[in-house]
Amino acid sequence: MAARSGLEGYAYAAMRIVTGLLFLFHGLQKVLGMYGGQVQAVGSLPWVAGVIEVTGGILVMVGLFTALTAFICSGEMAAAYFMAHFPKAFWPIENQGELAALYCFVFLYIASRGGGPLSVDKAVRKKG
């Protein structure tokens, strides 16, 4: 086993924060039409996905209700992969589904690990 540097918790926190931030941007494209996106019809499947991405991105980024939120985001990305990408081709490299597959598994990892350092979850746990 490799020696630990003492920084792995902070590297994990950085990954969680950046993943949440980037996911938030995807939601803002769908919900508000920002960053080159188009506003989706309220109540439509893409709009619901955008709401999950905005809410989930913020919650994962700050580390609040992290495990549950990341699990929901992972499920959304699995559904997106199988609904939008998999019908085009089997391999993610062929069906442009790499990002959905990667988000799915990164969020699954975050769900298994929780908020970690630099999270609201950890701060609340310390006070309680």
pTM of the predicted model as reported, rounded to 2 decimal places: 0.92
Cβ 64 vs Cβ 74: under 8 Å? no
Instruction: Name the pLDDT band for 128 (thresholds 50, 70, 90).
Output: low
Cβ 125 vs Cβ 78: under 8 Å? no
| Segment 52-94, tens digit of pLDDT | 999 999 999 999 999 999 999 999 999 999 999 999 999 999 9
Rg of the chain in Å (alpha carbons)? 16
3-state helix, strand, coil in the chain (%, to 5): 70, 0, 30
Enter the tokens of residue 11: 């590297």
| Segment 4-31, tens digit of pLDDT | 778 999 999 999 999 999 999 999 999 9
Question: DSSP letters of 1-36?
Answer: -PPP-S-HHHHHHHHHHHHHHHHHHHHHHHHH--TT
